[in-house]
Amino acid sequence: MADVSEVLMSVLSTIRVPRPGDRVHKDECVFSFANPEAEGGLYVCMNSFLGFGAQYVERHHNKNGQRAYLHIKRTRKAQKDEDANSDSPKKPIRLAIGIEGGFDIEQEQYEEEVKVVLFPDKQEVTLEDLTTMPDVVRERVSLSMTGLVSADSVSHTIQVQQWDGEVRQESRHAADLSQLDNGVKIPPSGWKCDVCGLEENLWMNLSDGKILCGRRYFDGSGGNNHALAHFQQTGYPLAVKLGTITPDGADVYSYEEDDMVLDSKLPEHLSHFGIDMMTMEKTERTMTELEIAANQRMGEWEVIQESGATLQPLTGPGFTGMSNLGNSCYLNSVMQVLFTVPDFQRKYASNIEKIFANAPSDPTHDFKTQVAKLGHALLSGEYSKPAHDSEDNPSGDQVGIAPRMFKALVGRGHPEFSTNRQQDAQEFFLHFINMVERNCRYGENPSEAFRFLVEERIVCQQSNKVKYTQRVDYIVQLPVPMEQATNADELQEVEQKRQEAEAAGVPPPPTPRAYIPFDACLDALSEPETLVDFWSSAVHAKTTASKTTSFASFPDYLVIQIKKFTFGLDWVPKKLDVSIDVPETLDLSSLRGTGLQPGEEVLPEVAPPPLMTPDVEVKAPVLDDSTVSQLCEMGFPLEACRKAVYCTGNTGIDAAMNWVMGHMDDPDFSAPMVLPCGSSAPGSTPTETLSEEHLATIVSMGFGRDQATRALRATSNVLERAVDWIFSHLDDLESMEVSEGGRSAAESEGGREPPPGPRVRDGDGKYELFGFISHMGTSTMCGHYVCHIKKDEQWVIFNDQKVCASEKPPKDLGYLYFYRRATE
């Protein structure tokens, strides 16, 4: 033991005690998905606080010279008798995670054994051993051990933060709510909707005492929207859900604030209509209970998840499940499909040793390292094992991997992907491809497999002159022409019955699914689009033009998005319930562009009138007045509407509306429209003092300080907008190095110059389907994603940790489809 004491004394200066704010990686290896429950446990460096599995700890010691590691080994506790005999797990009573009564995030109980291991001889030191050592050694090492054990791990801090869906704010209408003195008194039971007679999901308006039914849910259940319609007619903002009133409170909803709220004067407001809170009992499920039920009801979407069949579980290389980290199914589905593509396998999984050897001192922030780690885990089969609690594993659930470190890295700095909210799989696909592009500009770039050129041909209707442009894209967005439904007569008949039912105040019939031919979607894609108020450089005036879109190149791998998500007449986002006969083989050869044809005359290269800048008075921009007016009629500020139309290039109401929805939180949303640059060089704001904190945040994401400065100046020093700006202006930053984990891209890829212009692969336009991602739910912001991938002529369903052979892949209900070029 004296030798161990001497070794500890010699390395004492390298042993740190964790302080508040230190990142402690004690749940996951930085190079693999080894954890303290793994056979070899986890080694935490007592200097950097990085975690390493048994396979990688010696590599770290040899590279960095660090000798002291805290070894953590967890063993699952045996279930207590009362737990083993219980019929079901304890049900949550709060819409919360990580607090009493919420969803249980620590369902397993572990016994934890910790000790210090000194390399290279692997000498072990326990807390008990420290009692015989010199005071200076005992104090420093025991403080470090205790601090590491008690510290929250990074994964816990980021991914398992306490979340409480019941936290509600006091309504601004509660204090001085106007209540009509109309003599209405509400009985303690026997309630019905005043309009349709519904006897459940009833809400009483706290201003006039009207009892009306609640909103209709996406599956047709719920109410008939009469309480909402009453608010729209009267403006009375607050309603209480009957059946939830108890002495402890009730569900109160503010239609004007569009949220569940608190009403500190609820007893007084209820008493006005003869309701005594202290005598009321709950008879209806609260909104929290309904949301909890929805969160536990994933199995209801049977068709897409193939829940009605007993599926054969699959394990082994290429069949690794991924844990759902809380609405991370969009990420799981996209990454499963991407690592089916050989380009991504070669770039990351096959190069894992080289990537790990060149990783920076903190691999948790290195894009290549974390993507390689994920790819290797998915393809190796090392973690593709049945879940421990089911010997025969009929469900197909696996131990799988929990990609916490990867999710934290790819979402860092992004306003959406850094959260635990559900996201759009298509948006995440493009976000990840963008990150690949940024990190692979000086070498093999796997995103080239998806990259293609789009040809746009615009014909001025007045001069008949043409303009050809090309742009890079990675995904084909396929319109859904609802008017082409093969069951259009049935849909029209049901719609008529629905209108009649609403007029009569009775529940409407269920809406059938629309069946759309895939060829009709392709035809809609190539259909000429009319551009109204197009500024023609040939006639120097606004006129009408037609635009057609075609392929200038065909990629090796083609991604097709079915545009199921749209806006209703009230501009409320909705999802189209459609079935499309998507083919397994596809020939797009007829959609290849031809370029400039003999006899065609090109429109002159003359710029349209410029925008006003802060210091120069010029002519106002040419904008589509009708689109601006439509946006203004929806209640948006005039200047915001003008920006939306300008920034989307007069391409129509849909594009402008999408711009508005994406920029509503901008601080200058309704400010007068100006160019994003001032009187100095483009993108500069010389008089503005930039936030050092914002600069540091962007630099930590792998960009240079000059790039961060330019981005912040171009976006008025707003961090979120600067991050979006820098991702969308990579081509403007050609001369600026993009660093990877502290190393410039040139250093990491041999210092080669980036190729001029986008590199695209081209070939035959014939494809075969190999994967698709499906979405369940009413919006991309909620619901669930799963993916189906064809492996060795067998369709496989990847539903988070569940991996099984698919019996009836629902190819007609997909959202994103992945094709590869067909081989003869």
* Letter string b/e over residues 175-200, b meaning 16 or more CB atoms within 10 A of that residue's CB: eebebeeeebeeeeeebebbbbebeb
Rounded Cα distance between 29 and 18, Å, is 18
The single-letter code of the amino acid at 430 is L
Which residue out of 784, 787, 788, 804 is catalytically annotated? 784
End-to-end CA distance of the chain: 70
From the CB of residue 96, how many other CB atoms can be counted at a distance below 10 Å? 19
Backbone angles phi, psi at 135, to 5 degrees: -55, -45
Q: How far lies 465's CA from each of 537, 600, 620, 623, in Å? A: 10, 7, 25, 21
Q: Please give the Cα distance from 326 to 164 (Å, whole number).
A: 13
- Asked whether 55 and 79 are in contact (CB, 8 A), the reply is no
Please state, in angstroms and as integers, the Cα–Cα distance from residue 791 to each residue in 220, 349, 379, following that order. Answer: 37, 18, 12
Closest residue by Cα to residue 225 from 500, 498, 505:
505
Measure the CA–CA gap between 675 and 715, rounded to whole angstroms: 11
Q: Is 647 labeled as catalytic in the residue annotation?
A: no
Whether the Cβ atoms of residue 657 and residue 571 lie closer than 8 Å to each other: yes
Beta strands in 527-564 (DSSP E): 529-536, 541-551, 557-562
Beta pairing partners, 455: 470, 550
Determine which one of 29, 193, 329, 460 is catalytic. Answer: 329
Q: Give the closest residue to 624 by CA, choosing from 654, 653, 662.
A: 653
Burial class of residue 369, CB neighbours in 10 A (0-12, 13-18, 19+)? buried
Buried b (16+ CB within 10 A) or exposed e, 107-118: eeeeeeebbbbb
Q: Please give the C-alpha separations between residue 525 and each of 232, 466, 519, 521, 667, in angstroms, as whole numbers.
A: 38, 20, 10, 6, 36
How big is the CA angle at 682 (ends 680 and 683), to the nearest 5 degrees? 100
Give the span between the Cα atoms of 659 and 661, in whole angstroms.
6
Helices (H), 607-664: 625-633, 638-647, 653-663
The residues, ordered by sequence, that sit 6+ positions from 348 with a Cβ below 8 Å of its Cβ are 355, 368, 371, 372, 374, 375, 376, 446
Q: Catalytic site residue 61?
A: no
Question: Pick from 503, 499, 496: which is nearest to 195 by CA?
Answer: 503
Cβ pair 811, 769 in contact under 8 A: yes
Which residues are known catalytic residues? Answer: 329, 784
